């Protein structure tokens, strides 16, 4: 009877130690996940995400033009075309988006009426296929 009691005690001791190690291992795995995914000092997740890029604006940033009606720009390969929005002087403007063979997008727009003087504020926003957003803003100066 004593042998069975000692055997049971040894089994329970070893089992509790193994459970303790398993719990400790679980904790370490959670910590390694936190380190891999990234957690801010406020406890929120830090995403590793590449936002889209907007470039090759026509007219270019800070350009001076006689009148403004047509515009275009390019977007990086990771831009989701359905998420692209364009505003001219804070007014939503319809655009045509064309995929290039390189994977980049060409964004083109035409205003109903040309702007003949003043400053034009261009604003483009879109999301990457990873879910990050990017806002791109530039001015074009018209007239005088």
pTM value is 0.68
Does pLDDT of 36 surpass 50? no
Domain shared by 81 and 101, yes or no: yes
Buried residues in 5-18 as b, exposed as e (16+ CB within 10 A) = eeeeeeeeeeeeee
Does pLDDT of 98 surpass 90? yes
Domain shared by 61 and 24, yes or no: no
- Selected residue with higher pLDDT from 43 and 120: 120
In the chain, how many domains are there? 2
Q: Which of 13, 28, 46 is the last residue of a domain?
A: 46
| List of residues 6+ apart from 52 with CB closer than 8 A | 75, 76, 78, 79, 80, 126, 127, 128, 132, 133, 134
Domain shared by 31 and 65, yes or no: no
Dump pLDDT digits (tens) for 46-86: 568 999 999 999 999 999 999 999 999 999 999 999 999 99
Task: Provide the domain limits for residue 1.
Answer: 1-46
């Amino acid at each position: 009877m004593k042998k069975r009691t000692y055997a049971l005690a040894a089994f329970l001791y070893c089992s509790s130690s193994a459970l303790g190690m398993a719990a400790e291992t679980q904790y370490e795995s959670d910590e390694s996940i936190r380190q891999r995914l990234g957690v801010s000092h406020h406890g929120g997740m830090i995403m590793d995400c590449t936002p889209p890029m907007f470039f090759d604006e026509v007219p270019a940033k800070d350009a001076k033009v006689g009148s403004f009606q047509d515009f275009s720009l390019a977007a990086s390969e990771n831009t989701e075309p359905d998420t692209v929005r364009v505003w001219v002087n804070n007014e939503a403007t319809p655009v045509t988006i064309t995929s290039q063979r390189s994977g980049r997008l060409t964004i083109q727009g035409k205003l109903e009426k040309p702007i003949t003087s003043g400053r034009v504020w261009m604003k483009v926003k879109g999301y990457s296929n990873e879910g990050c957003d990017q806002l791109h803003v530039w001015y074009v100066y018209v007239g005088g």
